[in-house]
């Protein structure tokens, strides 16, 4: 992959120096890995945008048969990783990676909405290509795991996605976006509805796709939600399996 992805500054990235996968959500991942028979053998997992590495440390602790590759472009987060002989850290964007092959798991924890470039349509294509690349590097029967914030439009499902991208990607509107609480102001962020992500997975070739609702969230006032044509915000897990043949 060689697409240009816009990166947050170090100061902006620090806001994400936390672990969003709580105990219940981790157990959900573990259950799904067992359901798809991933944990019945040695397996390789790639965590894209793995940050400080606390999530993959839990994977390594829980599954002694696992080895992980953590991909993270922000040096300050890479430096916070605890060394482990089964953890390979690559300080790079996913787009500039010399991709491996025959992995059993590729995971994106709240990362795909940060895959942004110039223009909304180009950004959507960048996200689509990332999912297609994940499909290619998975072994037959491998799975992709995606934790995401889903934004559902009140009338048109994709309208909040387009509006939030325009507000956050524009340098002109950056001060306004910051006042709204967007620390991605000036760079951009591109959320989608759950059904949109499922469409991208289907286009990439995944056939078995499951969605698990985790919780609803949202601190926007009714007026701001109305302005964004936003119906609902939720967090969920998408898991899709590559066909065995």
Confidence (pLDDT) at 96: 93
- The CA distance from 226 to 223, in Å, is 5
- The CA distance from 143 to 70, in Å, is 16
User: What percentage of the chain has pLDDT greater than the value 70?
Assistant: 93
- Superfamily of 10-151+188-216+233-241 according to CATH: Vaccinia Virus protein VP39 (3.40.50.150)
Higher pLDDT, 245 or 103: 103
Q: Is the pLDDT of residue 1 over 60?
A: no
The neighbouring-strand residues paired with 208 are 241
Give the confidence band of 15 by pLDDT, cuts at 50, 70, 90. confident
The neighbouring-strand residues paired with 230 are 153
Long-range contacts of 164-169 (CB under 8 A, 24+ apart): 164/189, 164/190, 164/191, 164/228, 165/116, 165/120, 165/123, 165/189, 165/190, 166/120, 169/6, 169/116, 169/120
Q: Which H or E run contains 208?
A: strand 208-217
Write down the H helix ranges in 154-214.
159-169, 174-179, 194-204
Confidence (pLDDT) at 184: 67
Confidence (pLDDT) at 188: 84
pLDDT tens-digit map of 173-222: 566 556 555 666 567 899 999 999 999 999 999 989 999 999 998 877 78
Q: Which H or E run contains 180?
A: none
- The CA distance from 66 to 79, in Å, is 22
**What is the distance, to the nearest Å, from the Cα of residue 48 to the centroid of all Cα atoms in its chain?**
7
Confidence (pLDDT) at 222: 81
Burial class (CB in 10 A: 0-12, 13-18, 19+), 155: exposed
Confidence (pLDDT) at 111: 96
- The CA distance from 59 to 87, in Å, is 10
Q: Is the pLDDT of residue 122 over 60?
A: yes
The neighbouring-strand residues paired with 107 are 47, 145
Q: What is the mean predicted confidence (pLDDT) over 27-33?
A: 98
Domain extents for the chain?
Answer: 10-151+188-216+233-241
pTM of the model: 0.92
Q: Which H or E run contains 85?
A: none
**Cβ atoms within 10 Å of 185's Cβ, excluding its own:** 23
Stretch among 37-51, 86-100, 131-145, 166-180 having the lowest mean pLDDT: 166-180
Q: What is the mean predicted confidence (pLDDT) over 127-150?
A: 97
Residues whose CB falls within 8 Å of the CB of residue 35, separated by 6 or more in sequence, listed in order? none
């Amino acid at each position: 992959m060689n697409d240009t992805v816009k990166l947050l500054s170090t100061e902006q990235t620090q806001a994400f120096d936390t672990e969003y996968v709580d105990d219940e959500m981790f157990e959900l991942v573990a259950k799904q890995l067992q359901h798809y028979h991933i944990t019945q053998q040695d397996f390789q997992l790639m965590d894209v945008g793995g940050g400080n590495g606390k999530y993959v440390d839990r994977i390594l602790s829980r599954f002694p048969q696992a080895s992980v590759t953590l991909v993270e472009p922000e040096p300050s987060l890479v430096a916070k990783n605890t060394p482990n002989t089964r953890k390979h850290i690559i300080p790079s964007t996913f787009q500039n990676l010399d991709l491996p092959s025959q992995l059993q798991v590729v995971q994106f924890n709240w990362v795909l909405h940060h895959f942004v470039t110039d223009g909304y349509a180009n950004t959507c294509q960048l996200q689509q290509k990332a999912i297609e690349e994940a499909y290619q590097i998975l072994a037959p029967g491998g799975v992709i795991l995606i934790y995401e914030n889903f934004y559902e439009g009140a009338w048109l499902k994709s309208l909040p996605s387009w509006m939030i991208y325009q507000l956050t990607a524009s340098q002109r509107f950056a001060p306004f976006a910051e006042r709204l609480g967007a620390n991605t102001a000036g760079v951009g962020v591109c959320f989608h509805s759950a059904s949109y992500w499922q469409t991208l997975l289907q286009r990439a070739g995944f056939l078995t796709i499951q969605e698990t609702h985790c919780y609803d969230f949202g601190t926007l006032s009714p007026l701001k939600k109305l302005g964004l044509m936003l119906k609902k915000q939720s967090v969920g897990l998408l898991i899709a399996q590559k066909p065995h043949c």
